[in-house]
Amino acid sequence: MQQLEQVTLGHYQILKRLARGGMSEIYLARDTANDQVVAVKLVNTGAGDYYERFRAEVKTQAAFDHEHILPVLDYGEFDSWCYMITPYIEDGTLSERLQQGCLSLAEAEQVLAQLSQALHYAHEKGIVHRDIKPSNVLMRDGTHVYLSDFGLVKRVGEDNGLTLTGYLIGTPEYMAPELAECEASPCSDVYALGILMYEMLSGRVPFKANTPIAVYMRHIRDLPDPPSVYNPSIPPEVEAVIFQALEKDPERRFQSAQEFYLAYVQAVKLAEERRLDAATMPTQVNHFGLEKPRVTIVRQKHRMLRGRFLFTLLVVPLLLVTVPAVLHASLGPQWFKLSLGGATSAPPQHVISTNAVNTNQNPLLKPTPTPTHTARHIPTPTHTQLTPAQGPVQVISNNNANHGNSNGDHGGPPVKAKGHGNGGAKGHNKG
């Protein structure tokens, strides 16, 4: 294509060339009618299919009225040129912005919001863009986004005769895998938008190869690497949304650009909430001097609390059962009363009878006790005042006389009495 610097097309004076595409060139020009700097897109009328395609682009884009689709100020033909006049966006394209590095989550969200609105508007009118890529995204003041270059647009369900059989239309790095067999659809634009998001956040496209056809074959058969491999700050929630936009099966993708955007916003929100929750957790350092993951700390605390609960639930009742049993076996049935500080009576004593030898006369002789009958309680005399603390006593007879049993008052404790005559125990109340 010949150089057009200083050439005048009507009232548009060409200043310099800005870019050159496969079928057109873009020039910076001055509108002499209002002294405004504009951009001029030109195609030679003798360019055959390129010329027809450019006319379709002008017709489609001029019919749009959306704040995020590059507006058409004027169009027409002059001599051997077909031209389209648009505003000049001096801040450049998204491609130029990405040369400075990948975008933050917030910056990518801002771009995605505007592009999704533009695509949703075009899709509702039955138009598929088919060539979404950074060089076709203009950025005014670095923030306001315009979708441009509708040269490959296709109306859904319509064959305009401009696509040759056996040829793929689009840029291989951004083409959906189903385009090898199916017509373009809004879902194929969603796929390209997913590639664009991948590139904005990671700084590169997911598939690269030496030839265009090799690149496209990777879209068909390969799974992309997680974008966090190239940018670890990408949270898994956002990564999952991008992967859904890049599903091989169109039915499993987001069915609209707006749905894609809303899912991205929700993912960023969830990732931020998770980050804030993690920031409020305590930090611990292990024995290597490295900070333990906060999630691990929380899990350890949960295990500790669960262990305490199980100990209380299982071990404490077991102790309440086994300890009394052990004490009962070792100390007898009186341990419980003694532990409470109450007065108890001593176990009943045996009544012992000794030989008739008088131990007072011969102290060297020790009486040999022989049991005479079974144990029984000794009645308590009514006239004896004893306190419970004095306890039970033994009644010992030193002769062979019968042991007397009292039928008297049993209200007091048994007393200790010794008889040295042959009359037996004395002091019994016959009550």
Going along 71-209, which residue ranges are E strands? Answer: 74-78, 81-87, 127-128, 137-140, 144-147, 154-155
Place of tokens 């999952």: 240
Question: What is the rounded average pLDDT for all residues in the chain?
Answer: 77
Per-residue pLDDT reduced to its tens digit, 296-325 = 444 555 566 667 777 777 777 777 777 777
Burial 147-166 (b: 16+ CB within 10 A, else e): bbbbbbbbeeeeeeeebeee
Structure confidence at residue 5 as a pLDDT band (50, 70, 90): confident
Query: Where is 243: in which H helix or E strand?
Result: helix 236-245
Q: What is the pLDDT of residue 158?
A: 62
Rounded to an integer, what distance in angstroms lies between the CA atom of residue 343 and that of residue 345?
7
Structure confidence at residue 25 as a pLDDT band (50, 70, 90): confident
- Three-state DSSP string of 263-321: HHHHHHHHHHHHHHHHHHCCCCECCCCCECCHHHHHHHHHHHHHHHHHHHHHHHHHHHH
Model-wide pTM > 0.75: no
Cβ 149 vs Cβ 136: under 8 Å: yes
pLDDT of 208 higher than 70: yes
Q: What is the pLDDT of residue 418?
A: 45
Determine the average pLDDT of the residues in 279-307: 57
Structure confidence at residue 391 as a pLDDT band (50, 70, 90): very low
pLDDT of 331 higher than 50: yes
pLDDT of 106 higher than 90: yes
Per-residue pLDDT reduced to its tens digit, 147-180 = 998 888 878 766 554 454 445 788 999 999 999 9
pLDDT of 354 higher than 50: no
More confident residue, 143 or 362: 143
More confident residue, 337 or 18: 18
Q: What are the angstrom distances between the C-alpha of 363 and each of 398, 399, 416?
A: 14, 16, 21
Q: What is the pLDDT of residue 232?
A: 95
Per-residue pLDDT reduced to its tens digit, 72-94 = 999 998 888 899 999 999 888 99
Which stretch, 42-56, 238-252, 285-299, has highest mean pLDDT?
238-252
Cβ 281 vs Cβ 294: under 8 Å: yes
Which residues lie closer than 8 Å to 231 by C-beta, 6 or more apart?
Answer: 102, 201, 202, 203
Q: What is the pLDDT of residue 353?
A: 46
Report percent pLDDT > 70 for the chain. Answer: 66
pLDDT of 98 higher than 70: yes
Positive or negative torsion for Cα 217, 219, 225, 230: positive
- Residue 131 known to be catalytic: yes
Cβ 37 vs Cβ 46: under 8 Å: no
Going along 67-218, which residue ranges are E strands? Answer: 74-78, 81-87, 127-128, 137-140, 144-147, 154-155
pLDDT of 367 higher than 70: no
Determine the average pLDDT of the residues in 235-242: 96
Cβ 257 vs Cβ 115: under 8 Å: yes
Q: What is the pLDDT of residue 332?
A: 65
Which residues lie closer than 8 Å to 175 by C-beta, 6 or more apart?
Answer: 168, 188, 191, 192, 216, 219
Task: Tally the residues of the chain.
Answer: 431
Query: What is the distance of C-alpha 393 from the center of its chain?
Result: 79
SS3 93: strand
Determine the average pLDDT of the residues in 398-421: 44
pLDDT of 212 higher than 80: yes
Q: How many helices (H) and strands (E) does the chain have?
A: 9, 14
More confident residue, 183 or 263: 263
Q: What is the pLDDT of residue 300?
A: 59
Cβ 151 vs Cβ 128: under 8 Å: no
CA dihedral 182, 188, 191, 196 (to 10 degrees): 130
SS3 42: strand
Positive or negative torsion for Cα 293, 298, 303, 304: positive
Which residue out of 74, 131, 225, 249 is catalytically annotated? 131
Q: What is the pLDDT of residue 321?
A: 75
Which residues lie closer than 8 Å to 169 by C-beta, 6 or more apart?
Answer: 130, 152, 154, 163, 179, 184
Amino acid letter, 410: H
C-alpha triplet 114, 250, 138: angle, nearest 5°: 25
pLDDT of 219 higher than 90: yes
